[in-house]
Amino acid sequence: MFKKKKRHHQVLPAFGLSMGYTLVYLSLIVLIPIAFLFIKAAAISWDDFWSIITDRRVLASFQLTFSTSFMAAFINAIFGTLIAWILAKYQFTGKKIVDAIVDLPFALPTAVAGIALTTLYAPNGWIGRFFEALGIKVAFTPLGIMIALIFIGLPFVVRSVQPVLQELDQQYEEAASTLGANSLQIFMKIILPTIFPAILTGFSLAFARALGEYGSVVFISGNMPLKTEIVPLLIVTKLEQFDYVGAAAVAAVMLVISFILLFLINFWQWRISKKYETV
């Protein structure tokens, strides 16, 4: 049995060669450099490490990064689902262009997005002046950071939810409708439970991306320590002050958080795809 199985897999050539190349390249470019970052962070004592990452400025930047990322991902979860809905369910003129434009944040370099958003939301900018009239400052505040994070995170939710909505079997909605359900009930009880895992995946992807985002935020945030300094910027600041150990320590914490999110998201998607395979 074992032999037969093995022979079956070896019909195609060069498994060892391609797998070997994959592992070597992956190790050289990704795994070894990251391992050295952890070694650098581990070179200091636990007490020193703890005092670096519980420094007031570091904690403030973590709090800011997490709260703005969470809010941005939350807003994206709502509007991203809405955009996925109109793209999957409705026909309208210019739909192809709208569909393409959703991916602009993937394609537009973050620095370009950053300076464009800053110019728009500055107190004298096209959009900023309206908020200014209401007494709200957007650029150079946490609100500005959130706007940049909404921009970069939007496609993640749309692209997670859209395919699920497109494949949604119409017959359940029709059955519910025949049984007297109104459209709100149909949405809450049939559609939402089906697309919720996809929304959550999109939310997590947008959130994970927002935690590490630098280019689009650095211009609009104003970069004031304790107030509008995000974690990636703090790492850059520490580097510029030649505080390599401090930079490595903060980065190590961020990396662990990113890894946990990545494993959760991949495990989740793997579970979902397994579920659909068996159905």
Partner 1 sequence: MNKIKSPYKINRLNFNFEAFRKGGLIGVALAFLALFIVVPLIAVFTEAFSKGAELYFASLMDPDARSAIKLTLLVAAIAVPLNTIFGVIAAYAIAKFQFKGKNFLITLIDIPFAVSPVIAGLVFVLLFGSQGFLGPFLEANNIKIVFAVPGLILATVFVTFPFVVRELIPVMQEQGTDEEQAGRILGANGWQMFFRITLPNIKWGLLYGIILCNARAMGEFGAVSVVSGHIRGLTNTIPLHVEILYNEYQFSAAFAVASILAMLAIVTLFLKSVVEWKTK
Distance from C-alpha of 139 to C-alpha of 148, rounded to nearest angstrom: 10
The token duo for 32 is: 């070894």
Residues 144-173 close enough to bind partner 1 by CB under 8 A:
147, 150-151, 154
**Cβ count within 10 A of residue 100:** 10
Minimum CB–partner distance for residue 38 and partner 1 (Å): 10
Among 128, 232, 246, 249, binds partner 1 (CB under 8 A): 232
* CB-based contacts of 239-247 (< 8 A; 24+ apart in sequence): 244/40, 245/40, 245/41, 245/43, 245/44, 245/48, 245/52, 246/52
Q: Is 43 in the site for partner 1 (CB under 8 A)?
A: no
Q: Which is nearer to partner 1, 53 or 236 (CB)?
A: 236
Q: Is 196 in the site for partner 1 (CB under 8 A)?
A: no
Pattern 121-140, binding to partner 1, x per CB under 8 A? -----xx-------------
Q: Which is nearer to partner 1, 91 or 171 (CB)?
A: 91
The residue count for the chain: 279
Among 1, 2, 109, 193, binds partner 1 (CB under 8 A): 109
The token duo for 127 is: 């959009």
Q: Is 7 in the site for partner 1 (CB under 8 A)?
A: no
Q: Is 88 in the site for partner 1 (CB under 8 A)?
A: no
The span of 48-56, 167-175, 189-197, 263-271 binding partner 1 (CB under 8 A) equals 263-271
Minimum CB–partner distance for residue 167 and partner 1 (Å): 15
Among 1, 2, 56, 90, binds partner 1 (CB under 8 A): 90
Residue type, position 81, single letter: T
Minimum CB–partner distance for residue 158 and partner 1 (Å): 10
CA distances from 163 to 24, 215, 235 (A): 35, 29, 37
Written as one string, the DSSP assignment of 14-48 is -HHHHHHHHHHHHIIIIIHHHHHHHHHHHTS-HHH
CA distances from 278 to 165, 272, 275 (A): 19, 10, 5
Residues 47-76 close enough to bind partner 1 by CB under 8 A:
none
